[in-house]
Each structure stands twice: as structure tokens, then as C-alpha cells.
A and B are shown apart, each in its own frame.
Chain A
Amino acid sequence: MPDTATILTVIAIVVKVVIATMVIFSLPLPLTWIERKVAGHIQVRLGPWRVGPHGLLQPVADTIKLLFKEDIVPAKADKFLFWLAPLMAMVPAFAVFAAIPIGDTVMVPIINQEIALYIADMNVGILYILAIGGLGIYGIILGGWASNSKYALLGGLRSSAQMISYEIAISFAAIGVVMMSNSLSLVEIVRSQNHGIFSWNFFYLPVGPVWFAIFFIGSLAEINRIPFDLPEDEGTLSSGYITEYSGMKFSFFMLAEYVAMVSVSILAVIMFFGGWNSPFPFTIGLPSILADLLALIWFFGKVCFFIYLFMWLRFTLPRYRYDHLMVIGWKILIPLSLVTLLVTGFMRIIG
């Protein structure tokens, strides 16, 4: 018979997993609305307006529509893979969140328990995220292959080439962060940046901004967003790997895309912008619960900024041509990251 403390820990973990899953599942609802509003206003339109005040109920309407839509499977498609692909895209996007912290341990006053605001603080967290995040590409390749359509297959192929190329640059950026922060654990990476804005990895001059640029460009390509959304290039591939998908299967792909966008935003904040640390080097003597709340606000503020940045970029930039994409990946980002790695190493030895 396990003792009470173990049972409590298990219960806490289960509750955290359930809450995290529910929050992640409902993320696309506000995000699609925000994205369409941002798109509308950037293109001097209003965006969703008619369903609910300011179109707020539009995502609900979209969900209902997708639920009741006919789930079409092409006659010559590989039925099993066609069914499996959305799950293969979605599960890794969710699994990544197991290692993503949203805050340090907090003291909850009523139950008088220390609660950690992460599901697991793995000592290899950053590697886990890169590995699991890389699995998401299987969903896209399988979706493209199983659809038995030229457009879908080309989208899947493009996506695999693109993601594999940019994975290298992202991994180098992660190595850079590990060198700057001296840890592979995401919680430790954040703790190493807790002396105000100039202790953030972004301000580890001169290499911090370069690492950030490499990471940001690479992750734009990883999550298939403009300017690197070639796998679903409407102009040449109709919709790429999601051409043949409809109904809930389609929405699973969209869910995976949005969750990936959020997790990349969170990673950018954790790795380069100090996570839940405030930009001020001093601490004001707040009661611990308020300080924890403030940390959460800083964290979500930064994450929201990055999510907005992704949307903002999407409606500002055109799409790259495919060979340009490959040139950026192989001829610029990878050599640049090797050089930066060398500089970072020297800086660690000297400093």
C-alpha cells in the first residue's frame, strides 16, 4: 500500500495532464478567431463579425460545421494510413507539452501543497522536445502518401525535405542555448536567466540574437507557416497534404498546426526570453502567491507576443520559392549556426 504522499503526487500528475490536455484541445478556438481577426485588420477588413459579438462565436460555429461534415475518404486511398495520419500529426504535438514548463513550483495556499507548473522536469527536456516534435512530420508524410493524390504527395514530400533540413539548424540553436545556460532541462534553462533582461539568452551578446534568428527562422519552417508554408502552398498544390482531408480529420491537422505554433512560441520564450522571469533584475517583496501570479503573467504575455508575431508575419510576407527555401536552410542557416557554435564555445571557455 503506497503512502499518502505518493498517492497525492500521482493525483496531482493526473490532474495536471487532464488540465493540460483540455487546455491544448481548446487552444485552436481562440487562436483561429485571433488569426482571422489579425488577418482581417491587416488586410483592412473586419474579419469575423456576424456570429456573436465581434464574431466571437465563429470558432464554435466552425467546430460544429467540421463535426457534421461528411468525412470523405478517397476511393483509392490507403484507408488505414489515411486514418492514422491525422493522429500521427496530432499526438506528437500534444506529447511535446509533457516536458514544457509554464512556471516554477508554486505554493498553493488553500491546500498548502507545493505544485510544479510542469508535468515533468526532464533532465533532457530540450532533446525530448526536439525528438518528439520531429515525429510530427510522419503525420504529414503519411497524409500525403495515403491520399493517393499528386498534390498531397508533393506536399508531403516538400514537407519532409523542408522539416529535415531545418531540424538541423534548430538542433544547433538548441545546442547553443544549452551551452549558454549550461543545462538540458527547460526549467534549469529558465532559472539561469533570472537576473533581469540582460541575463536572458537573447542578450548573450554577440551570439544570442544570432541563435534566436536561427531558431526563429527554423521554427517558422518547422511549423509550416508563411513564409515557409510550402507543404500547403495553395498556389501550386491546392492545399498540399491536407487536400483530400475533410471534417474532423482535417481539423486534427489544423489542431496539430496550432498546437505546434503555441509550443514553438513557448520554446522561444523559455530558451531566449527568460521564461517566466521578469525583465527587471530586482525583486519587489511581494507575497509569494502574487509573485507566482506575476511570473505567470510575464510568461503568458511573452508567449502571446510570439503567437501574434507568427500571425503578423503570416499576413505580411509572401511565400518563398522552394529552391530559395532549401538555399536558406542549407547554405545560410547551417553554416551560420556552425560558426556561431564555435564563437559560443570560445565565449564559454573565456568567460
Chain B
Amino acid sequence: MNEGKGRFDIMELIKKVLFTDFVKGLVITFGYNVSMDSVITVKYPDEEKWIPYRRFRGLHTLNRTADGRELCVACELCSKACPTRCITVIPMEDNTGRGISDRVAKVWKVDLVRCLFCGYCEDACPTRAVRLGREYELACFDRNCAVKNREELLRPQPVPEEMSGGVVAKARLRTTPDGIEVVADLSETRKRRV
């Protein structure tokens, strides 16, 4: 129609003949290919491990007070709140000072195969005893080992509460007779590349 349009089309044709769009794309991918800094791979499990943020909902932990008494009063609110009914709590009386009250948990176990890690149990807990921690390597060989009981959950988790997370820590893969585990060195961390 008008001359301006015609000239524009000629430019487009020249660009097409010289493969400018292809060349632009090739330049971008070549930039990625030669720069080592753009690699986002986390070398898990051989060299690195991802430490999640504090808001992460992983394996349950049962907390204690500063002087080592169990916070859990076995009120069973967590098991009532649980949508998948995976938490079993059996209370008992104990006035030796194991817990913060006379009522402590005889059994507190969670079936991780059923658990959907929704976090309702930690919302329901009146004493903030149960909390979803940052442990996420939960694979095991049969269903029995997916049931975690009180003693195991009372043990402090490797990533401390104070650490804000969201970093990649140096780690190494350790093979033991019980299986393999990835031990993270929390003192040496780096930000994740995005």
C-alpha cells in the first residue's frame, strides 16, 4: 500500500535471508554453553545438599523446654486435628518431671506413609511441642520404618531452629551398614543460583 510498508517488508526479507533470528538464538545459547556460572545444578548428594527455609514442612519433631523437659502434654489435639489420622498418641501419668505436666505421652508416633505434611498438628498443639522440621530424606525400605516414634522424634534434628535456611550446604555421602545418609556441613554454605 504505502511506501513505508514496502520498505519494512524488504528489511524483513533481508533479516530472514541472513537468518538473524537464528543467529540471535544461537548467541544466547552459546552464552549459556560457555559460562560456568550459569549452571544451577546442586551436586546432591555427593558434594552439596539443599537446606530448606524455616517454613519448610518436613519430618515432625517433638520439642523440649530449655531445661530438657518434654513439652508434649499428650492432649491428643494433634491426632484429632490430623486429616489423615496418622498420629497416634497414648497418654500416661508421670510426675517425675519428664514432661512439663503430670500427663506425658506414652506413645507418640506418626505414620509418614499416610502423613501429608499439612502442618495442622503443629497448629493444634497448645504447647508448641510438635513442629514440622526440615528433615526431608525420608525414603526407607519397608512400611514399618516409615513409622516414627517418640524417641526418634525427640532427638534434635541436624538443622538447628536458629538457622534461617534457603542455602546450599557442603555435604558428603556416607555409606553405613544401615544405609546411606547425606551429612551436611552447615558452616559452609552458598546461595542458590537462579
Chain A partners chain B: yes
CB distance from A203 to the nearest CB of B (A): 16
B46 contact set on A, CB distance < 8 A: 50
Set A43, A50, A316: member contacting B25, Cβ < 8 A: A316
A45 contact set on B, CB distance < 8 A: 39-41
Cβ-based interface call for A69 (8 A): no
Q: Is the CB of B32 within 8 A of A41?
A: yes
Q: Is the CB of A44 within 8 A of B25?
A: no
Cβ-based interface call for A320 (8 A): no
Q: How many A-B residue pairs have CB under 8 A?
A: 35
CB distance from B46 to the nearest CB of A (A): 7
CB-nearest residue of chain B to A311: B33
Set A44, A313, A315, A317: member contacting B39, Cβ < 8 A: A44
Tell me the A11-61 residues at the B interface (CB within 8 Å): 38, 41-46, 49-50
Cβ-based interface call for A312 (8 A): yes
* A50 to B43 CA separation, bound complex (whole angstroms): 9
Cβ-based interface call for B147 (8 A): no
Cβ-based interface call for B26 (8 A): yes
* A312 to B41 CA separation, bound complex (whole angstroms): 20
CB-nearest residue of chain A to B28: A316
Q: Is the CB of B33 within 8 A of A38?
A: yes
Cβ-based interface call for B20 (8 A): no
CB distance from A235 to the nearest CB of B (A): 19
A41 contact set on B, CB distance < 8 A: 32-34, 39
Q: Is the CB of B29 within 8 A of A42?
A: yes
Cβ-based interface call for B127 (8 A): no
CB-nearest residue of chain A to B21: A317
What sequence of 0s and 1s flags, for each residue 116-146 of chain B, a beta carbon within 8 Å of any chain A beta carbon?
Answer: 0000000000000000000000000000000
* A46 to B43 CA separation, bound complex (whole angstroms): 9
Set B29, B39, B43: member contacting A312, Cβ < 8 A: B29
A312 contact set on B, CB distance < 8 A: 26, 29-30, 33
Please give the residue numbers on chain B whose beta carbons come within 8 Å of chain A beta carbons, in ascending order. 22, 25-26, 28-30, 32-34, 38-41, 43, 46
15 A-B pairs besides A44-B38, A312-B30 with CB distance below 8 A are A41-B32, A41-B34, A41-B39, A42-B33, A44-B32, A45-B39, A45-B41, A49-B41, A49-B43, A312-B33, A316-B22, A316-B25, A316-B26, A316-B28, A317-B25
The 4 closest A-B pairs by CB, nearest first: A46-B41, A316-B29, A41-B33, A42-B29
Please give the residue numbers on chain A whose beta carbons come within 8 Å of chain B beta carbons, in ascending order. 38, 41-46, 49-50, 312-313, 315-317
